[in-house]
Amino acid sequence: MPELPEVEVTRRRIAPLLVGRRIARVQTTAPSYFYLTPPDRLKSELAGRQVRALERRGKYLLAELDDGRRLLLHLGMTGQLYSSRATSVRLLSASRRASLSPEEQLVCEPDEHTHLELIFEDGEPTVRFRDVRKFGKVLLLEPGHSDPRLDRLGTDALDASGDALFAACRKRKIAIKSLLLDQKVFAGVGNIYADEALFLAGIRPRRSAQRVTLRECAAIADALRRVLERSIETGGSSIQDFIGPDGHDGHYQDERCVYARTGLPCRRCAEPVKKIIIGQRSSHYCARCQR
């Protein structure tokens, strides 16, 4: 699932393909829960609009249009926002991949999972939003309007502070891992970077939030900012579907210490990494390095 670094990598690389360009027309698939704004309205209202800026709030992208409206995009579990010039096997369904030769896999045509395509007045490349599981979202916001999804977000996780985390932990009996996943605390944190930050800070994911000290909160916030910044530098994590808008994989998965490394030796002490379920989400940690 794309988290803050993957969305930020997407923003930085897709912005040059959006900002300053005028939308000629929009292609969509049939109406579904993917569209918070019906596809017919997207087609009629986006045509002729110029994109002024592309911002990120937590895991959301916001394209500002020249008429003051904003197009909200969320990548959900499997969303991919990319250039029509990108090629990657991650953009092909398994059956399609199997039916194509390696050369044919380099020609990228929008498939049935491509739910939004922005076609510009100046021609190629187009910008596509593909999402196999359709948990992604597209919403057109009227000028001056916001959305509860945005209003609920806490401080961006790149600005995480120990004091803010400690305040959020007071009188909370939930696991520190669950608290970190709460977007009202720090926006943009998901499973990968919560596990990694807790490992670096030496805190077990199941520890009750109210039992994490101020000093430990500072260590967690510091680790969180470091893993997020490092992941952005390396292009994000391509563990499942994520690709950069140019079709390139991220590389942070090669550096992660615990996430999805169940049974593999801890990079610090060689003890096998453990996996437990907290709040229906898998959590990975080292029982020797984390207390």
Which residues are near Zn ion by CB under 5 A? 266, 268-269, 271, 286, 288-289
Q: For residue 284, list its beta bridge partners.
A: 275
Task: Kindly name the residue from 13, 56, 59, 274 that is annotated as catalytic.
Answer: 59
116 and 27 Cβ atoms separated by less than 8 Å: yes
Residue 9 sits at the vertex; the CA angle it makes with 83 and 22, to the nearest 5 degrees, is: 40
Q: How far is the CB of 286 from Zn ion (least distance, A)?
A: 3
Judged by beta carbon, residue 53 or residue 264, the one nearer Zn ion is 264
125: cis peptide before it, omega within 30°?
A: yes
Q: Could you tell me whether strands 60-65 and 51-57 are parallel, antiparallel, or unpaired per DSSP bridges? A: antiparallel
Q: How far is the CB of 203 from Zn ion (least distance, A)?
A: 13
Task: Kindly name the residue from 12, 96, 149, 281 that is annotated as catalytic.
Answer: 281
| 127: nearest Cα among 169, 166, 84, 182 | 84
Judged by beta carbon, residue 125 or residue 202, the one nearer Zn ion is 202
Q: Helix, strand or coil for residue 197?
A: helix
Q: How far is the CB of 223 from Zn ion (least distance, A)?
A: 15
Judged by beta carbon, residue 84 or residue 283, the one nearer Zn ion is 283
199 and 264 Cβ atoms separated by less than 8 Å: no
Radius of gyration for the alpha carbons in the chain, expressed in angstroms and rounded: 20
Q: How far is the CB of 270 from Zn ion (least distance, A)?
A: 7
Q: Strands (DSSP E) along the chain, which ranges? A: 23-28, 51-57, 60-65, 70-74, 79-83, 114-120, 123-131, 137-141, 155-156, 186-187, 274-278, 281-285
In the residue annotation, 3 being an active-site residue is answered as yes
DSSP state, 273?
A: P
Judged by beta carbon, residue 165 or residue 289, the one nearer Zn ion is 289
Q: How far is the CB of 274 from Zn ion (least distance, A)?
A: 10
| 137: nearest Cα among 76, 59, 82 | 76
Q: Helix, strand or coil for residue 129?
A: strand
Judged by beta carbon, residue 268 or residue 281, the one nearer Zn ion is 268
In the residue annotation, 281 being an active-site residue is answered as yes
Which residue is closest to Zn ion by CB? 266
Q: How far is the CB of 269 from Zn ion (least distance, A)?
A: 3
Judged by beta carbon, residue 198 or residue 286, the one nearer Zn ion is 286
Name the residues annotated as catalytic.
2-3, 59, 281
